[in-house]
Structures are given as C-alpha cells and as structure tokens.
Amino acid sequence: MTGSEVLAQATELEDMDLSKTSLQRLRCATNLLDGFHRGLFGFLHAPKRTLSVNFPVEMDDGSVQIFQGFRVLHNQILGPGKGGIRYHPALSVEEVQFLAAEMTWKCALVDIPFGGAKGGVVCDPKVLSEDELRRITRRYITELGDAIGPNTDIPAPDMYTNAQTMAWIYDTYEVLHPRRNNRSVVTGKPIELGGSHGRREATARGALYATQRFLEQTTLCGFQDLSDVRVAVQGFGNVGAIAAQLFAEAGAIIVAVSDSQGGIYDERGLDIEAVLAYKQTHNTVVGVPETMSITNADLLELDCDILIPAAQSNQIHKGNAARIKAKLIVEAANGPTTPGADAILLENGVHLLPDILVNAGGVVVSYYEWVQNFEHEQWELELINQKLKQKIHKAVDRVVDRWGALSAEAERAQSNVPSDRQADEHCPCYPVDLRTAALVATIEHLVKVTLSRGIWP
C-alpha cells in the first residue's frame, strides 16, 4: 500500500482534526489534576485571538493573486505570544490554532516567559520565486499590523520559512515602526541582523539533549546512550537534517531519512554529510548513491531503535501505529502522532517523548535571541548551548518525575478507575504516558500563574 493509501485508510479509522486532538489531550490532562478549577478549561483551550487576513500580491508574470494568512494568539498568561510562521498549501486555521496552543504548553514546560502563538500563509513555496515570497511576506506582515510586536507577539521560522523570511519580517516591521530598536520583533534572524548563535540548530539540538537526558534517567528503552542506536528520521529540513547530523555525531547510526519526495535507507548507516550535499544539488534525498529508496510510510515502520518524525502532523496514526517497531519515538515535529496512535503505542510499550518537550529547544534559543536583542548583546555559542542544555534537562526531569508520580498513583487507584475513563481509548489516563505527564505539569503551572494573577477585573 502507498503512503497516501495508508493515510486515506487511517482517516476513515480516526478523526484527525487537530482541534479535536487539542481538546482531547487537554481534557485528559485536566482529569488528572487534583482540584482543577473547571472554569479555566475554556480559557486554556480557546485561543485568545484568531486573525485571518486576505491580501493581493503581484506575481512575477504580472498577474495578481489573493493569499490568505493567519496569526493566532493562544494565551498570554506567561508573557507575549511566541510562535513560528509556516508557509504551506494545505495550511488551515484549525492547524494554526493547534500549533499556537502547543506553543503555550511548550513555553510553560521549559519555563520561559512567553505565551503561545502561531501563524502562516496558505501558499506553496515550492512553486514561488524568491521575489514572490518576499512580496508575500512583506504584505502579510503589513496586514498583521500591530498584532505582532516585541512585547505582544513575536514570530519565528517554521515549515518552509527560514532566516531570510525572518529578515524580511524584521525589515517590514522596521519600516512601519522607524527610529526604535525593533530587533526583538522576530527571532530566527540571520546572525548579522541580530540573530542568535545556535538558533538554526536549536530545535534539533534540544531534541538531542532531551533524548540523551531521558535515556540517562530511565531504563525503559533498553539502551542508556546513543552509541550504535539505529535511528530513522522523517523530514530532512531545518529540524530533521540537523537532528540526523547531531544524533550521528553523538554515536547513533542513521539508517534512514526522508523528505516530501520519499526516503532512503542503508542498514550500515547513512553518511549524513554526503546526503546533505546531495540534497543541496538535487533538492531531495532520494537517489543518494548506494542507498535503497523507500517511501515515507516504509520509513515509519522500519526496524530501528529511535524514530524521529520531523516533518508534518498526523504521520503516526491508527492505521500504522501497530506496525511501529522503534522502541522510542522522539517527536521533533509538532503533532506528528494522533491520539488514536498514542493509545496503541502505549499498549505496545513504545515510549514517546512528546513534541512540547522534544522541539522546545527552538523557542528556548528564540527567547535567548529576544533577550540579546533587548540588551544589544551577542552571546557566545558555548554559553547558549550550555543554557539550552540546562533548560531541556530540567524539563525532561520534570516530565519523568511527574510521569513516575502519576503512574504510581494510577497503580494504587487501579481498582477505583472510573469506568468511563477505562472505556475511552483516546484518553490514556491509566496508565499514563509521557505526553500526558508533560501536559499535566504544564497545565498545573499555567493554572497557578493564572490564579495568582487573578481573573480580570
């Protein structure tokens, strides 16, 4: 069966609407929080603001096209909104809302003073020229107006946007708000424009630090470091390609990687530098000499130790979860696993480090970039990596501790589990998975801050 046939079958098996995923996971986490103030559920779930803009752009051939863009501010209880900007033809407002909520959880989990936000434009960067992308970016940012700002909502890169896109965002904002230090309006900028050392690699590096810490702290996977551990990586962009490099440097054997056109496999381990060079000239990893071509569906089901989804959402679902052979899934992408798959993986003893923990390195170093911009400073790479490691280790320890406590509690209460909880296969409250433990720790923190600030007025 091809990847799209598997996905079509899975869509019949399971509702993959990301807004329902968000709701289900929040319900599950709040169920486990003692004394949760029920009145806060809607406040935590619903985005504070959803902005949708339509704007015209002149194309290279002189024609004019209308584009739709979004910016969602999910929650600002901890500070200004923070979140990437994605360019994708299938982008929907529901997806942006899901991703904005993920940012709220992520910032709270790693304890940085930001709320959650996300944005994007419905467009296909693969068929657009650099000039068209620049005009789309400038017009989109102009349409957002003061919805973004250094102290209100700060964009960053996400799928199919990069440091160049962030430079255009900065420049556009600067033109609209002259004669002040505007550098902190956007992160992920080029170094020479106030970008931070280590930001480009930060998401992948955070994923490495999270995995290493988790393996050190637990014996769940049967290996306690990355030496000779076989890793498959889905997605070979900013996050996936750098993760493949960093995991290989740490001793892992990268047996497979893929991009939107397909994947490659070599059981002896891929030479990641050679794959990067090939991708640069051929625009895909498919066809690297002396590798076997595989589909993205094959990659997910490979016999390996660690699977790193680093591309799209909803990749591991009810239709393929039972065939996943990896012992550990490291969610570098946002939302790559559906609730239906979570339940199957839990049942099958496949452990999963959740996205809000694994890919938080990006927003942590974005926060450092923001601080450096306010201070007119540029910190050394070593300092940034050291601070990032501390933050990620602390967050992993928090999740593992919480998971241990919730699991022990669940075991004690096993005989008293309410029947409705047992019946809900999408709400794996008992036993508890690492995703739920991370979300419980996060929500607890957000509730505490919300109640100590008080409900206005």
Provide the binding-site residues for ligand NAD, judged by CB under 6 A. 157-160, 203, 234-240, 258-260, 296, 310-312, 332-334, 359, 362
Smallest distance from ligand NAD to CB 390, Å: 19
- Do residues 258 and 292 touch, judged by C-beta distance below 8 A? no
CB neighbours of residue 35 within 10 Å: 6
Our CB check for ligand NAD shows the closer of 157 and 198 to be 157
Single-letter amino acid, residue 434: L
Our CB check for ligand NAD shows the closer of 2 and 227 to be 2
Question: Which of 330, 324, 305, 198 is CA-nearest to residue 252?
Answer: 305
In order, the DSSP letters of 17-81 are -HHHHHHHHHHHHHHTSTT--GGGHHHHHS-SEEEEEEEEEE-TTS-EEEEEEEEEEEE-SSSSE
Distance, CA of 234 to CA of 260 (rounded, Å)? 9
Smallest distance from ligand NAD to CB 243, Å: 9
Position of minimal CB gap to ligand NAD: 237
Q: Which of 169-178's residues contact partners 24+ apart within 8 Å by CB, and which partners?
A: 169/85, 169/137, 169/141, 170/194, 171/138, 172/137, 172/138, 172/141, 172/142, 173/141, 173/148, 173/149, 176/142, 176/145
- Do residues 88 and 68 touch, judged by C-beta distance below 8 A? no
Distance, CA of 330 to CA of 207 (rounded, Å)? 7
Our CB check for ligand NAD shows the closer of 308 and 346 to be 308
Smallest distance from ligand NAD to CB 9, Å: 16
- Do residues 280 and 272 touch, judged by C-beta distance below 8 A? no
Smallest distance from ligand NAD to CB 240, Å: 6
Our CB check for ligand NAD shows the closer of 69 and 362 to be 362
Smallest distance from ligand NAD to CB 296, Å: 4
Smallest distance from ligand NAD to CB 315, Å: 7
Catalytic, 126? Answer no
Smallest distance from ligand NAD to CB 191, Å: 16
- Do residues 270 and 257 touch, judged by C-beta distance below 8 A? yes
- Do residues 203 and 239 touch, judged by C-beta distance below 8 A? yes
Our CB check for ligand NAD shows the closer of 21 and 234 to be 234
Tell me which of 106, 118, 189, 327 is the catalytic residue.
118
- Do residues 292 and 265 touch, judged by C-beta distance below 8 A? yes
> How is residue 135 written in tokens?
């005009």
Q: How many residues in the chain?
A: 457
For β-strands 81-87 and 262-265, DSSP reports them as unpaired
Our CB check for ligand NAD shows the closer of 326 and 429 to be 326
Our CB check for ligand NAD shows the closer of 232 and 432 to be 232
Question: Among all residues, which ones are annotated catalytic?
Answer: 118
